[in-house]
Amino acid sequence: MTAAPLIEVEGLRIDLADGARHVAAVEGVSFRIDRGETFGLVGESGCGKSITALALIGLLRRPLSIAAGAIRFEGREIQGLSAAEQRALRGNRIAMIFQEPMTALNPVSPVGRQIAEMFVLHKGKSWREANQLAVEALANVRVPAPERRVKDYPHQLSGGMRQRVMIAIALACDPDLLIADEPTTALDVTVQAEIIELMRNLCAERGTAILMISHDLGLVANVCSRVGVMYAGRIVEERGSDDIFRAGAHPYTQGLVDSLPRLGSRAALGRSRLREIAGVVPAIADFPSGCRFNPRCAQATEICRTTVPETTWLGAGGLVRCHHHA
């Protein structure tokens, strides 16, 4: 085996078709995730983090399409695969969990059947065997009384239990990569902590890599070993999660951290005005030229308005894209 990463994204561009006009919602996005690694993408709404994830799993639909770049899974280009091959990859090797399990689960099918389906479709098991495996899968995600719970419909379960079911479905076939798109945003914090713990433990046991997508800096920093910060369709900084928020190199990363009312900061530093990031997140059709953060950046100069910043490599494989990086 060569050292091909589990998944590698190179120069990804995703276009949004608006009539005859195409605008790039995601541009020049590259990253790699190794086997068993945890990688996070953070950013605000519209930054392109979720559609990047959908592209990885081959679920982009019109008006979105991949316009340039390559996605390689174990060295093989995903776009080159037939629809059947993509389907086999999806669910079996790459699985995904979504923010709102209520909308991702089928409301008219018992949850046990939805888990069993994975074993029937991807592993060729009989329904009888699959139903038995579904009970085990529910037990693995610590659902109490799994042999009874398999008969429940999604609406009979709490939000946390539904997300456990989603995780059971996603991990049913022992995928190599789990994509988790805001997996706990709809949940209360104490339940979030449990679900994160569960996801982390199960993936560590099985060597499953995680791509976690979130707007919550704290969550990503705590779950992932490496983090990419996205802004307006581009990755502006990528670092190990110990460094990225403590010593952000990009003004946007620094601005995000400084704008947070972090628990404990009032006690330590007193209540001061929170640092604001001026302006608003640009709409996809109005991405500014040059560095896309320049209209909101206190450090912006002429070059920021005209020229897209090059990648600057930092230590330990980190990178930043800013003309005036720290």
Structure tokens at 89: 């990859």
Q: Between residue 102 and residue 121, which ones bind another protein under the rule CB under 8 A?
A: none
Shortest Å, Cβ 265 to another protein: 8
Q: Does 189 bind another protein (CB under 8 A)?
A: yes
Does residue 236 contact residue 253 with C-beta atoms inside 8 Å? yes
47 or 130: CB nearest another protein: 47
Q: Which of 56, 133, 179, 217 binds another protein (CB under 8 A)?
A: 217
Stretch that binds another protein, among 113-121, 145-153, 173-181, 193-201 (CB under 8 A): 193-201
Tokens 């059971």, residue located: 168
What strand order describes the sheet that includes 177-181?
Answer: 94-97, 177-181, 209-214, 38-42, 226-231, 234-240, 319-320, 312-313
Total chain residues near another protein (CB under 8 A): 48
Shortest Å, Cβ 172 to another protein: 23
124 or 264: CB nearest another protein: 264
How far, in whole angstroms, is CA 53 from its chain's centroid?
6
Give CA–CA dist 251/75, Å, rounded: 34
Q: Which of 19, 107, 124, 264 binds another protein (CB under 8 A)?
A: 264
Shortest Å, Cβ 199 to another protein: 12
Structure tokens at 45: 């709404």
Q: Does 100 bind another protein (CB under 8 A)?
A: no
Q: For the chain, report the end-to-end CA distance as a whole number of angstroms.
A: 39
Give CA–CA dist 64/75, Å, rounded: 24
Shortest Å, Cβ 273 to another protein: 6
DSSP single-letter state for residue 237:
E
66 or 199: CB nearest another protein: 199
Shortest Å, Cβ 266 to another protein: 5
Structure tokens at 171: 């991990």
Q: Does 44 bind another protein (CB under 8 A)?
A: yes
Q: Which of 19, 263, 310, 313 binds another protein (CB under 8 A)?
A: 263
52 or 93: CB nearest another protein: 52
Q: Which of 188, 205, 286, 302 binds another protein (CB under 8 A)?
A: 188
Strand pairing category for 21-33 and 319-320: unpaired
For residues 221 to 260, the per-residue mask of contacts with another protein, x marking binding by CB under 8 A and - elsewhere, is xxx-----------------xx--xx--------xxx-xx
Q: Enumerate residues 6+ apart whose C-beta is below 8 A from 194.
A: 160
50 or 192: CB nearest another protein: 192
DSSP single-letter state for residue 294:
G
76 or 151: CB nearest another protein: 151
Q: Does 270 bind another protein (CB under 8 A)?
A: no
Structure tokens at 166: 């989603």
Cα distances (Å, whole numbers) of residue 92 to 75, 95, 122, 173: 17, 7, 6, 5
Q: Between residue 272 and residue 291, which ones bind another protein under the rule CB under 8 A?
A: 273-277, 280-281
Tokens 């579904």, residue located: 134
Q: Does 168 bind another protein (CB under 8 A)?
A: no
Handedness of CA 284, 289, 294, 295 (dihedral sign): negative
Structure tokens at 316: 């330990």
* Closest alpha carbon to 187 in 204, 206, 163, 168: 163
Which residues bind to another protein, rule: CB under 8 A?
44-45, 158, 160-161, 188-194, 196-197, 215-223, 241-242, 245-246, 255-257, 259-267, 271, 273-277, 280-281, 296
